[in-house]
Amino acid sequence: MRIAMISMHTSPLEQPGSGDAGGMNVYVLNTARQLARRGIEVDVFTLATRPSQGEIVEVEEGLRVINIVAGPYEGLSKEELPTQLAAFAGGMITFARCFDLDYDVIHSHYWLSGQVGWLLRDLWEVPLVHTAHTLAAVKNAHRTADDTQESEARRICEQQIVDNADLLVVNTAQETQDLIEHYDAPPERIVVVSPGADTELFTPGTDRNTERSRRLLGIPLHMKVVAFVGRLQKFKGPEVLVRATAELIKRDPFRNVRVIFCGGPSGANATPETYQNLARELGVERYVRFIAPRPPAELVAVYQAADIVAVPSYNESFGLVAVEAQASGTPVIAARVGGLPIAVDDGETGLLVDNHDPEAWADALEQLLDNDERRIAMGEAAVDHAQNFSWAAAATQLEAIYADAMSIQIPDCHERRAAGY
């Protein structure tokens, strides 16, 4: 089996936590790795961003990342990438022709890739499997009043993909309902595949590991530590955590707490300075610290150094950070949105907050920061809970989905004319 994965707007090899790189990058890289280890040939097609990358990057046996030149290497925002869809599709066609490659299935990730996949599905006469990761209609339904609205053009493009993909892969049952409610997706073409976590890398820290992690990060050993891991954009909710911190300090000016934000800016209106300035305005700048995104091998130290990981997103298709944190033995406080109620076992491995009111978040943080026994017990339970999610299991499901997709008959021109297309 040979799979053409498309991740046009962001490479799986990019550092998650900044720019457009996030949970989707982790998902694509880890599922592709596990598929390759099952003997499936996987090529991941992505947009070239610098000439030094080379056209083909051999990640491991059976897995390659193909950098397609489409438009300038730099200077195009994600919102401008639709102008390069034809160029990107042309680059994929040329690559497959030059190396005499035939793919059995196309698996596109995100709507930009889905548009390319839709074209190649009919050209190559192979099935299209699509994973949206985020949906315009859902983001608009959950965004704050001052956040940028997703365009109607994107929603229309997503509707076209839903109408034409052979199978739609989602992370949770909630995403299934979102596709049915907002895009009239046929339920029989939707398959749920839970993402995973690298539970061999993300492991609980011993007291010595926690001490070492805090020393590496420059965090006093006696402090209670709350960590935020992810892109610094309004939709991820960093402002909620800054304001909740201010509420905590207002309640107890002598509280020994540090809040670490590990991530980079994403989007036109997001910079670290935005949230640093907010912390300064609220008088809590000395309690808040911002650090750059880390590769997974270093991100473990952030999870292990934290007493709590906060995920105040306005929506998450699943919530990989929540699972990675729990695998590392750290309880999670998360918003009760999207797939987070599946990722976090409320009351057992963390707490779910019903809204984004800073006072409600301060209440939840206070519950665990002030109750060492409960917090530690949750961290221990979190490790077991995280074992339910693995990339190997996700890849096993995907292989079966690809096999099902290959059995779908793609209508040829004669059949289309007979059916009245």
33 is in an annotated binding site: no
306 is in an annotated binding site: yes
Q: What is the DSSP letter of 81?
A: G
330 is in an annotated binding site: yes
φ, ψ at 69 (rounded to 5°): -80, 120
The pLDDT tens digits for 356-404 are 999 999 999 999 999 999 999 999 999 999 999 989 999 999 999 999 9
Alpha-carbon distance of 238 to 314, in angstroms, equals: 10
324 is in an annotated binding site: yes
Calculate mean pLDDT across residues 111-134.
Answer: 96
Alpha-carbon distance of 335 to 352, in angstroms, equals: 5
Alpha-helical runs (H) found in 23-99:
23-37, 85-98
Tokens 């192979």 -> residue = 126
The DSSP H or E segment spanning 288 is: strand 288-291
207 is in an annotated binding site: no
Alpha-carbon distance of 98 to 328, in angstroms, equals: 45
Q: What is the DSSP string of 201-225?
A: TS-PPPHHHHHHHHHHHT--TTSEE
25 is in an annotated binding site: yes
49 is in an annotated binding site: no
CB atoms within 10 A of CB 380: 12
- At the second CATH level, the architecture of 207-386 is 3-Layer(aba) Sandwich (3.40)
Q: Is the confidence at residue 26, as pLDDT, over 70?
A: yes
Give percent of the chain with pLDDT exceeding 90. Answer: 71
b/e per residue 208-226 (b: at least 16 CB within 10 A): ebbeebbeebebeeeebbb
First to last CA, the chain: 30
366 is in an annotated binding site: no
Alpha-carbon distance of 74 to 18, in angstroms, equals: 16
416 is in an annotated binding site: no
* All CATH 3.40.50.2000 domain ranges in the chain, comma separated: 2-196+391-419, 207-386
Alpha-carbon distance of 120 to 108, in angstroms, equals: 11
pLDDT of residue 415: 61
Q: Is the confidence at residue 411, as pLDDT, over 70?
A: no
Selection from 196, 199, 201, 195 nearest residue 299 by Cα = 201
φ, ψ at 60 (rounded to 5°): -165, 175
Angle ∠(289,247,306) on CA atoms, nearest 5? 40
Beta bridge partners of 228: 261
Query: Could you tell me the pTM of the whole model?
Result: 0.83
Which of 20-29, 115-124, 260-269: highest mean pLDDT? 115-124
Distance set, CA 259 to CA 39, 46, 241, 255, 347 (Å): 43, 35, 8, 12, 22
Instruction: Tell me the pLDDT band of 137, cut-offs 50, 70 and 90.
Output: very high
pLDDT of residue 397: 96
Q: The tokens of 288 are what?
A: 């808040």
Calculate mean pLDDT across residues 122-148.
Answer: 90
Alpha-carbon distance of 240 to 152, in angstroms, equals: 28
- At the second CATH level, the architecture of 2-196+391-419 is 3-Layer(aba) Sandwich (3.40)
231 is in an annotated binding site: yes
Distance of CA 120 to the CA centre of its chain: 25
CB atoms within 10 A of CB 394: 21
234 is in an annotated binding site: no
23 is in an annotated binding site: yes
